[in-house]
Amino acid sequence: MWPFKKESAAEEEAPEFCRFLDEDAERLRDALRKRDWETARGILGATDPETRSYYFSVAASTYGIERWITGAEPGAALPLLIRGAALLTSAWELRPDGWTGRISDAAAELWTRWVSQAAACIDEVTTREPGWADAWTWSIALSRSLGLPLDERWRRFHRLIEIEPDHWYGHEQMLLALTPKWGGSSEAVFDFARTRAAACPGTHIPALVALAHREHNAHLSAVREPDNPDRSLELTYYEPTEITDDLWEAAQLSFWHDDYETTVLTPIVWNNFAYAFAWGDFHKPAWALFDSIGEDWITRSPWGDVEFFLRSRDYTRDNLE
């Protein structure tokens, strides 16, 4: 399934983000837009756990889904968890800077309402289906949104990895649960990322180290300019040797590892390392990743916009020897 290379002469035409990592994800989104729950449920029932967790994240990020999904199949756990996840996703838009940002009284009330509605859904699902990894992923996400103590966030994470030790989305949520803006610290984030990377060699998980650096950089930027909604990240952050070394080791444990298998989520790993390597002046490995990404597997995160992706890629190409 992997078109690693697709030589295109039409370099002039700007590429687009790949909105979905496979065809069924796109079908899923289209079905959910049409409120076609039959089709959507079929796709969400994928047998491969990683693919299933990816499809779940596609469902949860469908805007407006929280308004109708539980009516599609009353009493069922899957729509209930989607509703909880979608409510949290909506709520996070109100607090882009976590607990540290400013929020109006009216929005804080709305936040509280959505998060408690999400809690009702997610808590019910973890009770009913304690062996379901996605439920624990969103239970971790809920824990930071409720401002629960860190040991409770850890407890939920441990439940998750008992079931699925290398669940990408659950790890991503735990990393966020440890960030300074949600009541944790950068030390805790780095420690978590490195520890889990070491525990899960040959998987996507070591890419958490790249996420950790990006979160830390975003944190530094937020501290510098707390009130600027348009603040940007300082790209020179990636230049020091200790940071490039850290990322190098993480890459060795991940997509460079002998046991690493390319899967549906691999473009997430490529894009995050490409970003970090490009601005860490690791031109050759960055270029190899840009080559793998090609025009087809550019994910919105971490670039934000296509112009910045192109700027990063051009910078890498111009510095190749």
Partner 1 sequence: MWPKTRRADDADDTVEINEFLHDEGARRLSVALRDRDWPTAREILTGADPEHFMYYMEFAASADGVEEWIPDVIRAEPNSTLPLLVRGARAVYWAWDARGSGTSDTVSQEQWKIWFQRLKLAENCLDEVIDRDPGCAEAWHYLVVLGRARQLPMEERWHRFNKLIEIDPTHLFGHEQMLNNLMPKWSGSTEAMFDFARTRAAACPGTNVPLIVAQAHLEHRWSEGGKAYLRRPEVSGEICAAAHTSVWHDDYRRSLLTPVLWNHFAYSLSVGRLFRPANALFDEIGDEWVRTAPWRSVERFTELRDWSREKDDDTGRDD
Taking the CB of residue 258, how many other CB atoms lie within 10 A of it? 6
Position 19 contacts partner 1 (CB under 8 A)? yes
Position 106 contacts partner 1 (CB under 8 A)? yes
The span from the CA of 176 to the CA of 190, in Å, is 11
Give the residue, chosen from 8, 61, 185, 195, that forms a contact with partner 1 under the rule CB under 8 A. Answer: 61
The span from the CA of 152 to the CA of 149, in Å, is 6
State the minimum distance, in angstroms, from the CB of residue 92 to partner 1.
8
Q: 3-class DSSP state for residue 16?
A: coil
The span from the CA of 210 to the CA of 118, in Å, is 29
Position 29 contacts partner 1 (CB under 8 A)? yes
Q: What is the 8-class DSSP label of residue 206?
A: G
Identify which of residues 233 and 249 has a Cβ nearer to partner 1 in the complex: 233
Identify which of residues 57 and 266 has a Cβ nearer to partner 1 in the complex: 57
Position 23 contacts partner 1 (CB under 8 A)? yes
Contact assessment for residue 134 and residue 56, using Cβ atoms and an 8 Å cutoff: yes
Q: 3-class DSSP state for residue 46?
A: coil
Interface pattern 112-151 for partner 1 (x via CB under 8 A): ----------------------------------------
Contact assessment for residue 88 and residue 145, using Cβ atoms and an 8 Å cutoff: yes
Position 17 contacts partner 1 (CB under 8 A)? yes
Residues 188-217 that bind partner 1 (CB under 8 A): none
Give the residue, chosen from 11, 151, 229, 318, that forms a contact with partner 1 under the rule CB under 8 A. Answer: 229
State the minimum distance, in angstroms, from the CB of residue 152 to partner 1.
22
Contact assessment for residue 52 and residue 25, using Cβ atoms and an 8 Å cutoff: no
Which residues 6+ apart lie within 8 Å of 209 measured at CB?
Answer: 190, 193, 194, 197, 246, 247, 249, 250
Position 171 contacts partner 1 (CB under 8 A)? no
Position 58 contacts partner 1 (CB under 8 A)? yes
State the minimum distance, in angstroms, from the CB of residue 63 to partner 1.
4
Give the interface segment with partner 1, choosing from 39-47, 148-156, 274-282, 300-308 (CB under 8 A).
Answer: 300-308
Residues 85-104 that bind partner 1 (CB under 8 A): 89-90, 92-97, 101-104
Give the interface segment with partner 1, choosing from 14-22, 35-43, 202-210, 281-289 (CB under 8 A).
Answer: 14-22
The span from the CA of 51 to the CA of 146, in Å, is 28
Position 302 contacts partner 1 (CB under 8 A)? yes
Identify which of residues 98 and 280 has a Cβ nearer to partner 1 in the complex: 98
Q: Is 63 exposed, middle or buried, given 0-12, 13-18 or 19+ CB atoms closer than 10 A?
A: exposed
DSSP secondary structure, 241-252, as one string? HHHHHHHHHHHH
Position 109 contacts partner 1 (CB under 8 A)? yes
Query: CA dist 313 to 82, 209, 295, 321, Å?
Result: 36, 21, 11, 15
Position 64 contacts partner 1 (CB under 8 A)? yes
Identify which of residues 112 and 127 has a Cβ nearer to partner 1 in the complex: 112
The span from the CA of 91 to the CA of 84, in Å, is 11
Binding residues (CB under 8 A) for partner 1: these are 1, 3, 6, 16-20, 22-23, 26, 29, 54, 57-58, 61, 63-64, 67, 89-90, 92-97, 101-104, 106-111, 172, 176, 218, 227, 229-230, 268, 296, 299-302, 304
